[in-house]
């Protein structure tokens, strides 16, 4: 029996050693947790994490997980244990030395020492993650490079459906990426070339080798056809199996057409050349004429006999000789034509002209370049017009910089694209600070919507807007007013792409207008509302009271014995007293109340939204109290009292005139009964009664 037990134990130990060896070979760390804390870890787990067994046992396992991953790991662990499927998941583990290790973990439920536990295994996948990141960056660089190519680039599956195309291919075929990806090549390849393309791609698949210089006719989305030159290579997966194709192409339509034209019969070719308005010529490798049409003779004013054998250096200005030589040399080296470059030429009579040239290689029967052929057009007049336009633009710029008015241009988003010096002065910023600045940065918030509407009107109607005013905040915080004339800014096609404005600083005029408006509604001495504004405020207050059902109180007051003060102490003291009175009255009233000067020493207060007469009574008493504080003038005290009459809407009147009249009557009785008091209008002038005792 004992022998059997020993044999069993020996086999178990051997199995355990084998399991440990297998796990070590697999790079798998094993651990057991109960209630979220480590209860067991194998040696490889310790080796991977850098901790000792003593340091780990009893530690909360989530504490060793990267803080950003803990929530996700907890969720995935719960899901894995719930379905018991050993679902793997990845996260970052914090080693003892503080380094981050990426691990792949699996969990399962188990029992440990008679209690429910969770067993986990994880592998260090840090190296794999680093490779994935490197691969991702490499793929990104590859995609960026492909997108920036001028040549077209495509990838297809074995079924011929596009799986990737770059922007150049989208432009060439005039489809969007969304339209091309998933589309079969047969949709864009001309029917007569589809079979040839299939044959070529099949050859690449069979041999595994790329093919270059393939030519096909492609049908664009709009139905036009281009000739594309394509190089095709196999596309492989990680196992090296061909899973599709990739290709680089370019539009050679124009080149093919030119080559076809050059292969036409010499007789027909020369007939066409002689009928051309443009000059046509052929030169050898040294640049000497071997053939030309009549248009060239007319262009340079030489006879045919004089031109045959003439070198380009004879009719080319010295400063352009190198330019022409480099053009010929480029065509020779590349075998490709050069389109539309300008060169200067000297006619026989010494006059100069500018010629727009296209140069092509001239080949012999073997295809060797033996010279050059060119087509030229006299563009002297066009160049003169361009130069005149430049001079006109310079004059235009000079005028803009010299005028006193500001001039600026903005794009459709309201960003400044051009300013003159006057506009810089108006905006209080340099040109560098203004270019690119959005109008919201210099227009007060309350004017932003108005400016937007003005531009929108010009955009909708296409018509200029004259004398439009708005405020602008300068860099130093000061505010000025500009009068603007706004016009649409159009591109060559006539489309509105922004707005241009001529602005005039009208701040002084605006301030003068505001001052005039204020003078019309405010007392010049005290700055308080005058009779006109008082009437408006009282009218609005009555309308509000009618709607709300609340009372409105009108107080009429003047200074007791003011004439005596004015006569004995002088008008300067009298004027200063009136100013101080206005300030004291403003200091005891609400923002919604109106304090107005009727003239002389007479003031009126309008108290809207009064719930009961006691509210007016309290304010009247407060006014009497502040008047009892001496007024100080040049170190002297002046004791002044006031008499106040009060009329309440709707009890004492329902319109402006009646309320003012009744308040004036009540003030008269306050004076008659001793001054320094307030009286409410009683309805019957002979029976004005004193309401001083109203409970406050």
CATH number at residue 110: 3.30.450.20
Q: Would residue 393 count as lying in a domain?
A: no
- pLDDT at residue 556 is higher than 70: yes
Model pLDDT for residues 188-205, shown as the tens digit of each residue: 999 999 999 999 999 999
Q: Are residues 337 and 422 in the same domain?
A: no
Q: Quick check: 503 and 405 in contact, CB under 8 A?
A: yes
Structurally, the chain folds into a number of domains equal to 5
State the pLDDT at residue 562: 86
Confidence grade of residue 256 (pLDDT, cut at 50, 70, 90): confident
Q: Are residues 175 and 126 in the same domain?
A: no
How far apart are the C-alpha atoms of 134 and 136, rounded to whole Å?
5
- pLDDT at residue 288 is higher than 90: yes
- pLDDT at residue 16 is higher than 50: no
Q: Would residue 395 count as lying in a domain?
A: no
How far apart are the C-alpha atoms of 681 and 670, rounded to whole Å?
10
- pLDDT at residue 375 is higher than 60: yes
- CA-nearest of 28, 190, 39, 7 to 103 is 28
State the pLDDT at residue 2: 46
How far apart are the C-alpha atoms of 56 and 37, rounded to whole Å?
9
Phi first, then psi, for residue 50 (nearest 5°) are 85, 0
- pLDDT at residue 17 is higher than 60: no
How far apart are the C-alpha atoms of 456 and 420, rounded to whole Å?
24
Place of tokens 């203004």: 434
- pLDDT at residue 269 is higher than 70: no
Q: Would residue 542 count as lying in a domain?
A: yes
According to DSSP, the residues that pair with 589 across neighbouring strands are: none
Q: Which residues contact 24 (CB under 8 A, 6 or more apart)?
A: 43, 44
Domain end position, chosen among 353, 383, 413: 383
Q: Are residues 271 and 372 in the same domain?
A: yes
CB atoms within 10 A of CB 279: 23
**More confident position, 216 or 695:** 216
Q: What is the average pLDDT across 522-537?
A: 88
Q: In the chain, pLDDT over 90 holds for what percent of residues? A: 51
State the pLDDT at residue 389: 66
Phi first, then psi, for residue 419 (nearest 5°) are -145, 150
Here the tokens at position 107 are 């969990």
Q: Which residues contact 496 (CB under 8 A, 6 or more apart)?
A: 412, 459, 462, 488, 489, 490
Segment among 333-337, 449-453, 570-574 with least mean pLDDT: 570-574
According to DSSP, the residues that pair with 595 across neighbouring strands are: 605
What are the DSSP E strand ranges found in 221-337? Answer: 225-236, 242-251, 279-284, 289-292
Q: Are residues 497 and 585 in the same domain?
A: no
Q: Are residues 617 and 658 in the same domain?
A: yes
**More confident position, 18 or 381:** 381
Q: Quick check: 590 and 600 in contact, CB under 8 A?
A: no
Query: What distances in angstroms separate CA 23 from CA 26, 28, 47, 54, 289, one per listed residue?
Result: 5, 5, 13, 22, 85
- pLDDT at residue 517 is higher than 90: no
Q: Quick check: 179 and 156 in contact, CB under 8 A?
A: no
Instruction: Please say whether the dihedral angle defined by the alpha carbons of residues 171, 177, 181 and 187, taken in this order, is positive or negative.
Output: negative
Confidence grade of residue 20 (pLDDT, cut at 50, 70, 90): very low
Greatest mean pLDDT among 123-132, 258-267, 591-600: 591-600
Q: Quick check: 91 and 69 in contact, CB under 8 A?
A: yes
Q: Are residues 281 and 246 in the same domain?
A: no
Q: Would residue 6 count as lying in a domain?
A: no
Q: Would residue 7 count as lying in a domain?
A: no
Q: Would residue 477 count as lying in a domain?
A: yes
State the pLDDT at residue 390: 67
For the chain, give the mean pLDDT. Answer: 85
Model pLDDT for residues 77-133, shown as the tens digit of each residue: 888 788 776 778 899 999 999 999 999 999 888 899 989 998 998 899 888 888 778
Place of tokens 């679902």: 87
Domain end position, chosen among 239, 257, 275: 257
Domain end position, chosen among 510, 545, 565: 510
Q: Are residues 244 and 273 in the same domain?
A: no
Model pLDDT for residues 28-86, shown as the tens digit of each residue: 899 999 998 999 999 999 999 999 999 999 999 899 999 999 999 998 888 878 877 67
Here the tokens at position 608 are 């809207």
Q: Are residues 679 and 661 in the same domain?
A: yes
Going by their DSSP bridges, the two strands 162-165 and 152-157 should be labelled as: antiparallel
**Residue 634 belongs to a domain with what CATH number?**
3.30.70.270
Q: Are residues 362 and 430 in the same domain?
A: no
Q: Are residues 184 and 48 in the same domain?
A: no
Look up the domain containing 367 and give its range. Answer: 264-383
- pLDDT at residue 507 is higher than 90: no
* DSSP structure class, residue 429: S
Phi first, then psi, for residue 549 (nearest 5°) are 85, 5
Q: What is the average pLDDT across 470-499?
A: 89
**More confident position, 8 or 379:** 379
- CA-nearest of 342, 302, 284 to 293 is 302
3-state secondary structure of 244: strand
Q: In the chain, pLDDT over 70 holds for what percent of residues? A: 86
Query: What distances in angstroms separate CA 675 from CA 598, 646, 666, one per listed residue?
Result: 20, 14, 12
State the pLDDT at residue 138: 59
Confidence grade of residue 282 (pLDDT, cut at 50, 70, 90): very high
Q: Are residues 339 and 477 in the same domain?
A: no
- pLDDT at residue 15 is higher than 50: no
Q: Would residue 367 count as lying in a domain?
A: yes
* DSSP structure class, residue 298: H
Model pLDDT for residues 128-156, shown as the tens digit of each residue: 888 778 766 656 666 666 667 788 999 99
Q: What is the average pLDDT across 274-282?
A: 82
Q: Would residue 603 count as lying in a domain?
A: yes
Q: Are residues 532 and 567 in the same domain?
A: yes
Model pLDDT for residues 424-471, shown as the tens digit of each residue: 988 889 999 999 999 898 889 988 999 999 999 999 999 999 888 888
Place of tokens 């009126």: 604
């Amino acid at each position: 029996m004992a022998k059997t037990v020993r044999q069993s134990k020996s086999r178990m130990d051997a199995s355990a050693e084998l399991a440990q060896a297998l796990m070590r070979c697999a790079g798998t760390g094993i651990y057991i947790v109960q209630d979220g804390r480590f209860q067991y870890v194998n040696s490889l787990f310790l080796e991977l994490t850098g901790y000792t067994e003593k340091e780990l046992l009893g530690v909360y396992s989530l504490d060793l997980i990267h803080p950003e991953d803990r929530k996700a790991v907890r969720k995935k662990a719960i899901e894995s244990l719930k379905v018991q499927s050993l679902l793997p998941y990845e996260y970052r583990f914090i080693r003892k030395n503080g380094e981050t290790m990426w691990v792949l973990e699996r969990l399962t439920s188990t029992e440990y020492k008679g209690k429910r536990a969770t067993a986990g295994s994880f592998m260090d996948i840090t190296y794999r993650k680093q490779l994935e990141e490197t691969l991702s960056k490499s793929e990104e660089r590859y995609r960026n490079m492909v997108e920036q190519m001028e040549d077209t680039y495509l990838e297809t599956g074995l079924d011929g459906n596009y799986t990737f195309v770059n922007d150049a291919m989208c432009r060439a075929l005039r489809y969007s990426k969304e339209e091309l990806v998933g589309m079969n090549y047969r949709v864009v390849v001309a029917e007569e070339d589809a079979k040839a393309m299939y044959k070529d791609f099949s050859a690449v698949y069979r041999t595994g080798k790329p093919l270059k210089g393939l030519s096909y006719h492609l049908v664009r989305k709009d139905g036009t056809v281009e000739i594309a030159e394509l190089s095709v290579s196999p596309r492989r997966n990680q196992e090296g199996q061909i899973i599709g194709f990739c290709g680089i192409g370019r539009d050679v339509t124009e080149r093919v057409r030119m080559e076809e034209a050059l292969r036409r019969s010499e007789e027909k070719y020369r007939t066409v050349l002689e009928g051309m308005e443009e000059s046509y010529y052929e030169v050898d490798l040294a640049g000497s004429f071997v053939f030309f049409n009549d248009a060239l003779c007319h262009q340079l004013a030489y006879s045919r006999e004089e031109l045959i054998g003439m070198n380009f250096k004879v009719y080319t200005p010295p400063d352009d000789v190198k330019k022409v030589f480099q053009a010929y040399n480029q065509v020779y080296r590349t075998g490709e034509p050069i389109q539309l470059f300008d060169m200067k030429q000297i006619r026989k009579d010494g006059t100069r002209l500018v010629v727009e040239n296209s140069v092509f290689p001239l080949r012999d029967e073997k295809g060797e370049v033996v010279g050059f052929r060119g087509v030229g057009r006299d563009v002297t007049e066009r160049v003169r017009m361009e130069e005149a336009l430049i001079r006109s633009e310079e004059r235009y710029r000079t005028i803009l910089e010299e005028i006193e008015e500001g001039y600026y241009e903005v794009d459709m988003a309201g960003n400044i694209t051009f300013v003159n010096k006057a506009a810089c002065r108006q905006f209080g910023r340099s040109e560098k600070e203004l270019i690119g600045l959005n109008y919201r940065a210099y227009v007060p918030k309350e004017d932003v919507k108005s400016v937007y509407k003005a531009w929108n009107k010009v955009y909708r109607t296409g018509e200029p807007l004259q004398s439009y005013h708005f405020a602008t905040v300068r860099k130093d915080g000061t505010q000025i007013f500009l009068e603007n004339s706004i016009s649409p800014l159009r591109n060559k096609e006539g489309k509105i792409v922004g707005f241009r404005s001529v602005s005039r600083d009208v701040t002084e005029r605006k301030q003068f207008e505001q001052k005039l408006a204020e003078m019309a509604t405010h007392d010049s001495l005290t700055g308080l509302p005058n009779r006109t504004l008082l009437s408006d405020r009282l009218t609005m207050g009555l309308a509000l009271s009618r709607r709300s059902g609340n009372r409105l109180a009108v107080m009429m007051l003047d200074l007791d014995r003011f004439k005596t003060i004015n006569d004995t102490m002088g008008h300067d003291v009298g004027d200063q007293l009136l100013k101080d009175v206005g300030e004291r009255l403003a200091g005891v009233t609400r923002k919604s109340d109106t304090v107005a000067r009727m003239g002389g020493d007479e003031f009126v207060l309008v108290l809207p939204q009064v719930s009961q007469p006691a509210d007016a009574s309290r304010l009247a008493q407060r006014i009497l109290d502040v008047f009892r504080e001496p007024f100080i003038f040049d170190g002297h005290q002046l004791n002044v009292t006031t008499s106040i009459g009060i009329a309440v809407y709707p009890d004492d009147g329902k319109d402006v005139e009646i309320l003012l009249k009744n308040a004036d009557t009540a003030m008269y009785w306050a004076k008659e009964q001793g001054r320094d008091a307030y009286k409410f209008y009683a309805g019957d002038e002979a029976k004005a009664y004193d309401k001083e005792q109203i409970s406050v």
